[in-house]
A and B are shown apart, each in its own frame.
Chain A
């Protein structure tokens, strides 16, 4: 056979062979192969998308946590501030009330003292008068006739204050 001699039979055989190979491979090789490729690519794409989504989610959660933390800190600070204010206010109140009470007690004590002194003075004057009357009575009983004694008694009585 020559190098360039046409061979119709071989051409037909080649066509038949190629078409058969194509059909067989299409059914049993390319189908599974290409679908597996597609499947894997879909899977990888989905996995990447999921990873992206998860990352975004994590970032969002972190931001939320931070915000919550800041909010909590602010709240805690507010509570502390309020407690301190309350404490100061209460302390001030207590002190004021104590002072007021103390003042009242002092006032009362002063009143009591005044009253007691007045009473004492009154009693002293009464007793002094009684004593004077007694002494005067005795003096009168013994020296009533004596001119001079009478004069002393009168003087004494005159010198005595009328009240208090």
Chain B
């Protein structure tokens, strides 16, 4: 009975670290956050939101500092930012959007990449939490991506032209009742996949690390500690990689989907 209770508490300990809270958890410190409703919607500030704001602030401050006082030849952090910008432009934006449209979407794609990256990496810092491991946050990001897809598609092809372009040309009329819901579903699947992919990837890494640490406390022995720590260290490094990878994947797929909505003939 006692072991089951401990197992339960171990599970809670993992869940406690990955779910959102109405207080800001900094280790043992629980700082209360303002709770309020606006127009009947619960607009309470939560721990993940605070983390997202911290990440945003870090992002804005570091990027503005790095772009200030620049000569024609960049150095250090500014150089890394610039290399990323060039990479997103030449390998993400231009191949998917075309040379003509790419510059218009560059600020958006860059912001998506760095916003997700900073949120991902903040979760790896002690006391930090991963805002992108919250499905509400990824849903909102996917919604923004979806809005960009629709907006770009309608802007380039017209409202009617865009929805007409969703259906393959020269389709027999008899198939329309089948194809219209299918294509609409296909359109909605894209942001849904973006949302779930980011959420699951960021969540899974944390769950694995916390599980590996949890083994020590469940088995109550120091023998497994070296293995747990070694494995969780490896996972931690993998999570750094995943933080970059998922930010890149989200940006790449967003660019790809927006490109598909602009150039429907392909």
Q: How long is the Cα–Cα vector from A135 to B41 in the complex, in angstroms?
A: 186
Q: Which of B137-145, B156-164, B178-186, B242-250 is near enough to bind chain A?
A: B137-145
CB distance from A111 to the nearest CB of B (A): 103
Q: B44, A9: Cβ atoms under 8 Å?
A: yes
Q: B136, A37: Cβ atoms under 8 Å?
A: no
Q: How long is the Cα–Cα vector from A17 to B54 in the complex, in angstroms?
A: 11
Q: A25, B111: Cβ atoms under 8 Å?
A: yes
Q: A18-B140, A40-B72 are in contact. Are A24 and B60 (CB under 8 A)?
A: yes
Q: Which of chain A's residues have a CB closer than 8 A to the CB of B111? A: 18, 21-22, 25-26, 30
Q: Which of chain A's residues have a CB closer than 8 A to the CB of B68? A: 32
Per the CB 8 Å criterion, the residue count for chain A at the interface is: 35
Q: B21, A15: Cβ atoms under 8 Å?
A: no
Q: A9, B59: Cβ atoms under 8 Å?
A: no
CB distance from B116 to the nearest CB of A (A): 10
Q: A9, B86: Cβ atoms under 8 Å?
A: no
> For the complex, would chain A's binding face be called helix, strand, loop or mixed by DSSP majority?
helix
Q: A17, B72: Cβ atoms under 8 Å?
A: no
B108 near A: Cβ within 8 Å?
Answer: yes
B103 near A: Cβ within 8 Å?
Answer: yes
- CB under 8 Å from chain B, chain A span 1-56: 1-4, 6-15, 17-22, 24-26, 28-34, 36-37, 39-40, 43
- CB under 8 Å from chain B, chain A span 90-143: none
B201 near A: Cβ within 8 Å?
Answer: no
18 sample A-B contacts, Cβ–Cβ < 8 Å, listed by A number: A1-B20, A3-B15, A7-B42, A9-B46, A10-B20, A10-B46, A10-B137, A11-B143, A14-B136, A17-B52, A21-B111, A22-B108, A25-B60, A28-B63, A29-B63, A30-B85, A33-B82, A34-B107
